[in-house]
Amino acid sequence: MSEPEDVGPPLNAEVIGGGETTLALVLPFAGSDALTAKHIRNGALLAREMLSDNKLALAVENGANPDYEALKNPALVALYAPDGKLSETPPQRSVTITIGEAPLREGGLSLVASDMDSLIAGLRYAAPSGAPVAVLAPESQSDASLERMAKAIGGTVQVVTYKSSESAGDLIELLKGAEDVAAVGFVESDRKIAEVAAALKSRKSAPLVVGHTGWGTALVGDPKLEGAVLARPGTSGHAVVSERYSEKFGSAPTEMSLYGFDIVAVASGLVRQHGSKAITRKRLTNSTGFKGATGTFRFREDGTVERLYEINKIVGGKLKVIQSAPSGF
């Protein structure tokens, strides 16, 4: 993905188009997250244009000062609230999707998979037959989350915890007790990971280094992490949307643009197929899931999202796909 650019019209409270039902997109119009919000709005606009058949109206709302009474009972409210707060509560009768890792209200859904989900997928790739793996995690991680992680990975998982104040050398010492493992996964995304990974490569039987979607360009571009793998949601659906987005806005879409696109794409598909009252939590949590610009995904009953991952390897400071995501659940 390219660096975010300020493209598209300004953020304004508006209702775009008519249709059988309304999707409300609630975004921060000001502050440090406004540019991200604009990218989400741009993707949503494109999806409505491409896929709605004019059956879906898109209401763009300011999350700092929403006027939900102006809407005619939106069937779906999509929220982007990075601080986890909204000034008011969205309509109770609406299904709510949060563009984040956790639902913002009871009974809601969330669209973004966690870094931990990505790490689990990477470690399952690294040890497909239950070979032993080690995971290096900060002590701030809850025992419950680490237990869930180990269960999801399967096989033998050795969790090595450390204090945030400990240096890369300290972490290397801690991992000396994790011998004969197929892979070592890293929960965090700080730069000392690279030093630890370099030390692991010097072992006689060097384990595979596994990262996650939280690794930014600084880590991916670090030569010490050459050969590490990480799982990302499948990207096979990007091409057509990216081309159309670039034509419309003059810039490649960001990941958040694609999330905005997928929310409207899912809603539009349901309305086209089943009519104006099609957007229900039951239909959104169907086991088949959805194929979108951000890959194949489905919503779990607890509101979190499950995604299918492709496996990427760091080659020359860039991510190279070495295993495509499965075609479906």
Q: Is 3 exposed, middle or buried (0-12, 13-18, 19+ CB in 10 A)?
A: exposed
| C-alpha neighbours within 13 Å on the C-beta side of residue 27 | 28
pLDDT score, position 68: 65
Kindly indicate whether the domain formed by 115-212 is annotated with CATH number 3.40.50.2300: yes
Please tell me the predicted confidence (pLDDT) of residue 233. 93
CATH architecture, range 14-112+236-307: 3-Layer(aba) Sandwich (3.40)
How far is 185 from 199, CA to CA, in rounded Å?
14
pLDDT computed for residue 64 by the predictor: 82
Q: What is the pLDDT of residues 165-174, one digit of tens each?
A: 999 999 999 9
pLDDT value at position 2? Answer: 45
* Positions in the chain short of pLDDT 50: 1-2
Res 143: pLDDT: 92
Give the SS3 label for residue 248.
helix
Question: Where are the CATH 3.40.50.2300 domain residues in the chain?
Answer: 14-112+236-307, 115-212
∠ CA 164-137-120, nearest 5°, is 150
Mean pLDDT of the chain, nearest integer: 90
Strands of 139-224, DSSP E: 157-162, 183-186, 208-210
Is the entire prediction scored with pTM above 0.85? yes
The two beta strands, 157-162 and 183-186, are: unpaired
